[in-house]
Structures are given as structure tokens and as C-alpha cells.
Structure 1
Amino acid sequence: TDKERSTQEAIDAILDGLNWLGLGGDEPPVLQSSRMGRHAQVAHELVQRGTAYLCPVTPEELQQRRDAAELLQKKKATDGSLSAEDAAKLDEFTRPFRSPWRDPAKPLPPSAATVVRLRMPDTGELTVVDHVQGKVSRKFADLDDLVLLRSDGTPTYMLAVVVDDHDMGVTHVIRGDDHFLNTFRQLPIYLGMGWPQPEYSHVPLIHGPDGKKLSKRHGATAVDEYRDVLGYLPEGMKNYLLRLGWSHGDDEIIPEAKAVEWFDLDGLNKAPARLDFAKLDSVNKHYMAEAAEERLFELLLSRPEMQGKTPEVMGRIRAALPVLKSRAANIVQLAEQARFLT
């Protein structure tokens, strides 16, 4: 639903990385942008069921509300306190948004552009039993009436992901724990439609060696960089990433067949894992030693440092691969090991 970031180039990069890792889908990918009609249909059905409503409040009015709250917070910080009237306003402005048009008896302004908002219950709480986070509850009063359908008819991510998961028969959602709070905003859509709820597992994000959230300052972040720049094999990367978020006793080398056999949700780690390139090298070195020499030779030929080498030089490197590959943790190191033959 994010049209600015959902470029064809970005889509191709994601699918290329998944396919390289051997994680391509059994069916073609489904783009949310191709299902907007279905998303809108569900939004309007929720309105008919009374679990959503049309709201004419504009983004500008919501921004005015946020700006007013910020001014009152600054005034409180400067003066040390607020009058009873201002304190009540601040409480209202910082509370989860409840539109006055959630009251079905309140008539809409004539010809007003409207969004579709989810009608959160006023009382009670929602409980999620997550395979990683455990049993967590949150009051409905702490959740805002989120927008499902924008005034131009386009769906929001919150609506689209729920509708697509339901329609595709998704039974288990495994995603980063930065989406955990979204679960409490998405489940009321399932409840409003009377749909079965999936099981959830929110795994911790990968951190850098310094314990902070992984970012570009820690080095490569895109999958193709690990392949094209750092020279890792897909089976090594997949094994390492599996062990970052899941464990099976003390096993470090877990081939794909064993991963399929052993994997269960109870093995998901609850603490954030740290990216450790030394460990990644150790795992990948195992797969380098097992890889066929012809495959490694083809990967070497694609390296920029190997361009322009004579057939005689490449022949010597090819002949030495059975020995060289056992000393290298990745294709970059393999090229360095072969330098003396050039």
C-alpha cells in the first residue's frame, strides 16, 4: 500500500534475494495493490456490520490536534503545571483518537469526503497468546479508531494485510517484534468480520555487534550484498539466519532437510540475536568445503578481481580448488587464497 517505496526495482530485489536463498514461494507473489477492490469491499462490509464507520475528519484537523497537544506539553514543561481546563484538553488530545462520527446517530456533513475507520470497543481488553512474547493483554481504550480506507478509496496496510492473510488461508504469522503492537490493531478486523484468527510469533529483530538495531552502519544489510559483495553461499546464509532466531539444542550446522524436520515454534529465541560475522564465516566455511568445485569456480569467474585473467591462470586456480576451498570462509577469501596462482 506504500506506493512510493513499492517500486518494481524494490520488488525485484526482494524476490531475487528470497529466490537466491531458496525461499521463493510455491505460488506467484500477491501484490496488495492488485487487490484494492477486495480490500474496499471488506471495509464497507465492516461499516454495514457496525464495526467500522465513515468519518469526515481530515488529516489537517488531526494535525491541528497534535499541534495543540504539543503546545500544551511545552507549556506544562515551562510552567510546571497546567490549569484544569488545559490539563483536560491535553488529556483529550493525547488520548487514542475517537471520532465524534463514530456515533451512528450523528449525521455526516453534506458532500464531505470520508475515510472508513475501525470502531474500537470502548470497554474490555484484547489478549494475544504469542508463541514468543507470551500472553499479553491490552485495553481497547488504549487503541485508536484506525483508518481502514482512505478518502480516495485506497486501503491502508492494516486492512490490506489482514484481508490478504485471511483470503490466502494464512494460519501462522511469524514476523518481527516491531509489529507486535500492530497485532492488537489488526485482530479487531478479524473479530469484526467473524474470521478465524491466525497464531502469532513475534521474533526479536537482529542487532549489530554493538547490541543496537541492525542498520547500514553495521555493514551490509541487503541480501544481494552478502551474495555479490561479501561472497557468501545461500545455504550458509540460510543456516546462519535460522540459528540467529531459532535453536535446536547445540546444533550449529543445520542443512535444509534437517531444518524442515526439526523446526517448531517453541525453539524461537526470545532475546535479540547479534550479527556475528565470525560465526557467519564459520558456518559458511562448512558449506564452502562441501560445495562442488565447478560451482565455486563459476562463482569465482564472476568476481571483479578475476576479470582479465588468462586461461592458463584460471586453469591453475581450477586445479587447486579442492585444496583452496577448505581454507576459505567465502568466495572473497577464496579469491584471496588463489592470488598466488595469478
Structure 2
Amino acid sequence: MEWLSLNCDEEPVYQSQRMDLYQKKADELIESDHAYKCYCTQEELDAMRRGQVERGENPRYDGRCRGLKEPKSDQFVVRFKSPETGEVTISDHLFGNVLVQNEELDDFILLRSNGTPTYHFAVVIDDNDTNISHVIRGDDHLKNTAKHIHLFNALGYPLPKFVHLPMILGPDGSRLSKRHGAMDILEYKQQGFLAEAMLNYLVRLGWSSGDQEIFTIDELIEKFDLTNLNKSSARFDLEKLQWVNQQHISKLSNTKLAELLMQLASEHNIQLPSIEKMQSFSEAYKSRVVSLKDLLTYADKLFSDNFIVDAEAAKKHLKSSIEEPLKDLASVFEATTWEPTSIHEAIDDTCKKHNIGFGKIGQPLRVAVTGITISPPIDITLTLVEKELVIQRLKSAIEYIENR
């Protein structure tokens, strides 16, 4: 939540500090005949469920302790006395009125035998005490909401508004799970996704504002409301997330992007040049990557002291036919002013001297200096590396050609 900048407006409520309140509310429900103590052992519950399964019934608590007047032991749970007939209406923002038959609800537990509250019990009390106006959660909680409405009513609390959102699906249309590659949210941070992009993508999965795809956090805050929520489930699309991330990276200032790169490099024990150099690198490379991790990979390749040329790229592009042009270029670079226009002119003059096109020398030069076949325009790329280092790498490439 902190990574996504989803900060609390108020101090968090810790349930562990409210145990006396939960016990008090449970006692009140017992006193008003909305709850009761259940003394069933685990063995009794297991036998009950086995019998129900054998008879083809849905396993559920059968209410056998409902009418007990005297305590059977000092070990018990507190169960809610759910209505056995009739129905409960869930008024939902997306799905309208949803009817749930009370006979589908069993007498669910409010307090466990150790006195701790269940989710169903604590969340209703906490929502009321913190003045929650809207309960927004997945539509897999619809039946739970029926239980909660009974609890709200039994406790004399006003009902909040309910909004049940469709579940996110995997690419195959089934519920998103680990088998689809779903990860903890912080795993996406480790994969190089920006927090702003992740939040942008997740919000757009279930909501829209016209045709706009890319939002800043401030724009999401300004434009988000409940009127444009999607009723149908959306499929998680990694390629779309990568595209959204790329859009956010390209819009990020070079200063901020360089700071993020330096931080990520530190976490991976990767040495990078100065922040000023990384700002220039960010400007050159940011339109070519879909994640910070990709950007760091390019930076590490370009600036590493342990520079390695990709073997396949060298085999394909560093051939004897380009040896003399590279030798001349290494010599010309000695006196070249190290900025894009002068570098471009030096390459162009070398091409004219050897009667070859710019492309004939551009790719071998790129492989020699970056180690790979992909980079921004070569004149811009070369300015990112110190002149002496470029000449050194050219000489290494020439040596490779001579030894083939």
C-alpha cells in the first residue's frame, strides 16, 4: 500500500486492541437472543459434516446448541443465530438487489474458543465504529454480505452502501491465480514496474473514464467515482500492463528516472556512473523499455567494467569487411569533439572514405561499443560512454576480427 501511495486518511484500527469491545458486543447479542454459546467439539463437528456429505447435503452447522439453557463446559465458541426462514436483500451498487435465502446461511461463529473474533464479526463492528460509508470488495463476498447485514441489524447499526466488484480473471477466463503467474504486488516492483503504472492498470481493469488509458495518481483521484465501474470481470493482461508501464516510464522526468535507476542498481549491487550521466542515459533509452529492470539491464551492459560482447552479435557483425573502417573510426575519434553532431560527422566521413553506407558501419559499431544490437541512435549512444572507453572497445572489436 505504501509503495502504491495508498495512504490511510486516519490511524489504523488494530483489532488486537479491541478484544474487550468484541467480547462486550458478543455478550449483548447473546442477551438479545441473536447469538448463543456452542459447546460442540471438533470431533462432533467432523462427524456431523461426514453425515451431511454422506446424505448429499451441503456441510453446515446444524444448530444443535441453539436451545441449550445450561453450559456444558468452559470451552465454547459464540455463534450468530441466523434466521432460519425468509430472505435477506443485498442492495448492491453494481448488481442491484440480490436476494439470499436465509436457509442458505448457517449459524456462523462470532468469537472463537480463545475469545478472538472472526472476520465476519470484527469487520461489522469496526466498519460501524470508523463510520465506513461504502464497503467495496470482491463479488466472492456476496454471501458474506448477507451474514453481515443480519449482524448490522442485530447490533442496531445503520447499513453502509455495498459495492461488489467482479473478480480479476486470468488470460484463460478462470479466476486469476498463481498458475497464471500472479504475484504478490511487491513482486511487480521487483520486476521493474512503476507504482503509478501498477495503480493505473489495476484501476482501469474495473473502471473507465472515456477512452483515456493513462492516468497520473492525481488524475485518478480527481476522476474516479462509482458510476463508471465495470460489471463484467476483466482479464489480467501482462502485455497491457507492460505497455502502461512503458507509457509512464516515457513520461517520467529524466531526473526522477535516474534516481529510481540508481536505487534499483544499489539493491542489485550494480555500479553505475554519476546521476548526471544516468539522466542522459534515461533520456536516450526510456522509450525503448517496458520496465525499470529492462532499463537497468541496458545500463549494466553499457557501463559495466566487465564488458562483454554478445557472441552471436559479434559473429554476425564483426567481420573482416568492416575491419579497416573501424580502424579509421577509432583513429578519427581521437580528435572528435564528444557530442552527437561531431560523432555523426566522423562516422559519415569514414563511410564516404570507404564508399559504404552508414548502416554498414552503424551496426558493427553498435555491437563493438554496447555489446548488443539494440540501442538508441549510435551517435547519441556513444556520447553516453567516455571517448577513451569507446576507442578501447573499438580496438578490442578489431582484435576480435583479426583473430577470427
1:320 alignment partner in structure 2:
281
Q: Say yes or no: does 1:28 pair with 2:45.
A: no
1:143 alignment partner in structure 2:
105
1:302 is aligned, of 263, 267, 273, to 263
Q: CA deviation at 1:128?
A: 0.5
Q: CA deviation at 1:234?
A: 0.9
Question: Which string of whole-angstrom CA distances, capped at 9 and with x for unpartnered residues, describes residues 203-261 of structure 1?
Answer: 12212222222222322511111112x11111111111110111112211122222222
Pick closer, same or farther for the CA change 1:265–1:311 going to 2, 3 Å. Answer: closer
**Counterpart-to-counterpart distance in 2, 1:337 and 1:220:** 26
Structure-to-structure mapping, 1:105-254, within 5 angstroms = 106-228=68-190, 230-254=191-215
Structure-to-structure mapping, 1:76-91, within 5 angstroms = none
**Counterpart-to-counterpart distance in 2, 1:72 and 1:270:** 37
SS of the equivalent of 1:202 reads strand
Q: CA deviation at 1:19?
A: 0.8
Q: CA deviation at 1:48?
A: 1.3
Q: CA deviation at 1:129?
A: 1.3
1:49 is aligned, of 32, 35, 43, to 32
Pick closer, same or farther for the CA change 1:110–1:315 going to 2, 3 Å. Answer: closer
Range that drifts further, 148-157 or 190-199: 148-157
SS of the equivalent of 2:90 reads strand
Contact 2:208 2:228 in 1 (8 A): yes
SS of the equivalent of 2:205 reads helix
Contact 1:246 1:267 in 2 (8 A): yes
Contact 2:36 2:81 in 1 (8 A): yes
Question: Which string of whole-angstrom CA distances, capped at 9 and with x for unpartnered residues, describes residues 173-218 of structure 1?
Answer: 1111121111011111101011101111111221222222222232
Larger Rg: 2
Structure-to-structure mapping, 1:255-274, within 5 angstroms = 255-274=216-235
TM-score, normalised to structure 2, is 0.69
Pick closer, same or farther for the CA change 1:55–1:324 going to 2, 3 Å. Answer: same
**Counterpart-to-counterpart distance in 2, 1:257 and 1:303:** 25
2:63 is aligned, of 95, 99, 105, to 99
**Counterpart-to-counterpart distance in 2, 1:310 and 1:31:** 43
**Counterpart-to-counterpart distance in 2, 1:248 and 1:310:** 40
**Counterpart-to-counterpart distance in 2, 1:19 and 1:29:** 13
Question: Which string of whole-angstrom CA distances, capped at 9 and with x for unpartnered residues, describes residues 265-322 of structure 1?
Answer: 221111221111221122122221221222222222233597443637x764442321
| Paired residue type of 2:49 | R
| Paired residue type of 2:108 | L
Identity of aligned residues (%): 41
Contact 1:96 1:142 in 2 (8 A): no
SS of the equivalent of 2:43 reads helix
TM-score, normalised to structure 1, is 0.81
Pick closer, same or farther for the CA change 1:320–1:66 going to 2, 3 Å. Answer: same
Pick closer, same or farther for the CA change 1:310–1:23 going to 2, 3 Å. Answer: closer
Pick closer, same or farther for the CA change 1:143–1:264 going to 2, 3 Å. Answer: same
**What stretches of structure 1 of length at least 5 have no aligned partner?**
1-17, 74-90
Contact 2:4 2:195 in 1 (8 A): yes
Contact 1:300 1:335 in 2 (8 A): yes
Number of residue pairs matched by the alignment: 302
**Counterpart-to-counterpart distance in 1, 2:301 and 2:155:** 67
**Counterpart-to-counterpart distance in 2, 1:241 and 1:214:** 13
Contact 1:126 1:139 in 2 (8 A): yes
**Counterpart-to-counterpart distance in 2, 1:148 and 1:267:** 36
SS of the equivalent of 1:100 reads coil
Q: CA deviation at 1:42?
A: 0.9
